[in-house]
A and B are shown apart, each in its own frame.
Chain A
Amino acid sequence: MSLLDSLAAGFALVGNFEAFFMLFCGLVIGVVAGAIPGLSATMAVALTLPFTFAMTPINAILLLLGVYKGGIFGGSIPAILIKTPGTPASSATILDGHPMAERGEAGRALGMALYASCTADAVSNLALILFAGWLASFALNFGPPEFFALILFSLTIIAGVSGESLLRGALSALAGLLLATVGLDLVYGTNRFTFGDPNMMGGLNFIAVLIGLFAIPEIIAMAWNPVAHLGRTRALGKSRCTFADYARSFKSIIRGSMIGVFLGSIPGIGAAPAAFLSYSEARRTSKNKANFGKGEIEGVAASEAGNNGVAGATLIPLLALGVPGDVITAIIIGAFMVHGLQPGPMMFILNVDIIYGLFIGLIVSSVFLLVVGSVAIRGFRFVADVPKRILMPGVLILCIYGVFAVNNNIFDVGVMFVMGWLGYIMMRNRIPAAPFLIAFILGPLLEDNFRQSMLMSGSDPSILFRGPITWFFWFLTCLTVFAITRSTLRKKVPLS
């Protein structure tokens, strides 16, 4: 199929009101959810997922991608107005955004956040369109040993950079891998940790695990401290972001977008490190270096460009390799599976219309984000006024309905509650949940590729090092472990 044929197939799939309406709805849901502190973009995507079961695959994925992109931008609104990031990715935006709000320039900061987000989003989408196909055609050469090495590398980096400690991240990933062994054995069909319960023979439901890990702990945290979310909302003020502001920050926006694209395309790094790296690079190179941290508009632009640059790029490993780049894409991979699609190189051959349909939808999403974001900035006070102590019980009910709807099974609701308490214990003990979820998804793939490799080689482990592709991933894995261990040791022994 030629490029034009693929594009035409993509247009045929998304060229209707319903697809674009879903994308628009997704952006609205994402921006609103991201703007409510405590309702992160991750939780919004997870809670929207059950509503997509009855939709066509393309509409479902577009809705979720809209929520993702909207949620990342929406997180900047409370970061600037109430000094509470709506999503972890917006933490860097606080550094300059909130001081601007304190000076009465919240409208200007939010305007810049929106323009930087839309620009970075467009750059990120372009990178996805350019690189995903190329990477997928390269990945067609991968066999089980190559996929094993790739997944191992992804898990290593996710465990290493998701939290504050490599050991706690690795512990989280191992717990996810262990939980993924529950169910029937992939080769022999014998029971593993099923305790004789038929509900557990198919393994634990992925959506129950993810909603349990990412939504229920927030509800439990609310029970622990019901007033933790209260903050003072700043007014928008009269000043607005001008074209001169945008032009002055353009270099930082493009640099931040590139940083976001680069870090986003590496599985596991995510938006928060991209935002901080983009911010620190902007500060290092800016003429107004001294103003950073005191309300410099270029700082807002850089951090927002960094975190939004990640959004499209995290889809590169997801679509091309079938490996989720972060937690949200891990949820989106679940949506693909629910709709009978398997992301990875073969999808570029078997479902090329969906791939190109997604590309078209993503390009349009940048324009929609500009519209939705402009309205959201003005309407934030209504969102901020939603009483969180009523919102959270609503989230709980939504979780119950959503998780039940996956398999019409009350057992899954119980799994969600148990995972919720596990997630809360992990949160209290500073164990990141992202490696757990991604390891839970990739665990069966890792084991399956390992066992297939062993079957191919007659149990000779040297097959895991059989060629340049496996060497490349093993080298990256070793490099990651070395770099993270070194940085941990440096933190332990501060330089005097």
Chain B
Amino acid sequence: MSEKSLHLRLGIIVSLFALFLVFYAIPSFVFAPSNVRNIILSPVFWPYVLAGLTGTIGLGLVFNALTSAPDTPFDDEESVHPEGSAPWMRLAALAVIMVLVMFGLPRLGMVWTAMLAFAACAFLFRTRHPIVAVICAVVVPLLLYAFFAHVAGVAIPQGNFVRLP
């Protein structure tokens, strides 16, 4: 991707986002007391200013893309974008792992969830040391539990099944 196409794409998205903020998000989700007489002191003033500036930057990006000469793609494009669908699959898998972590934390507890997440990520990243990965997946969460629960005094979630001392 070149800077020109990046700016065009970003500019359009940002401009639409600014419109979304001005016409929907701020009126719906920012509440101002009815007795505020001066708009400058109102809770909605600052979000509107920021939304306006965001829109201006969006238009600036579009203008920049439309007025600049065609340019070459960024230098490191090849290394950033390996070919095939496998990278997308791994990204999707990592997203699923994160969602499962959120579900697992209150139910399984932090230590067991962390162990599973560690092992899943190591295999997702195609580790060349599977045995070390499994050992680390058990040891690292236990060590962190020991520090945070017994040294820092943090109430680490224990879950509904196996509780640690």
Contacts and interface: CB of A to CB of B under 8 A. Distances in A.
Contacts of A396: 117-118, 121
A392 B121 contact: yes
Contacts of B25: 193
B122 A390 contact: yes
Contacts of A239: none
Interface in B104-129: 105-106, 110, 114, 117-119, 121-122, 124-129
A178 interface: yes
Contacts of B124: 223
A170 interface: yes
Chain A interface, DSSP helix/strand/loop, else mixed: helix
Contacts, number: 186
B128 A393 contact: no
Interface string A407-418: 010100110010
A247 interface: no
Contacts of A225: 79-80, 82, 87
Interface string A287-307: 000000000000000000000
A245 to B, nearest CB: 33
Given A174-B54, A181-B47, A429 B10 contact: yes
B118 A222 contact: no
A404 B157 CA distance: 9
A174 B117 contact: no
Interface string B123-165: 0111111001100110011001101100111111100000000
Interface string A153-180: 0000000000001011011001101100
Contacts of B60: 167
A177 B74 CA distance: 29
A269 to B, nearest CB: 21
Task: Identify the 9 closest CB pairs spanning chains A and B, nearest first.
Answer: A393-B121, A185-B43, A389-B125, A190-B31, A54-B152, A389-B127, A223-B90, A223-B94, A405-B154
17 contacts: A51-B147, A51-B152, A168-B10, A171-B10, A174-B53, A174-B57, A178-B54, A190-B33, A192-B30, A193-B47, A220-B94, A225-B79, A225-B82, A400-B114, A401-B148, A404-B156, A450-B46
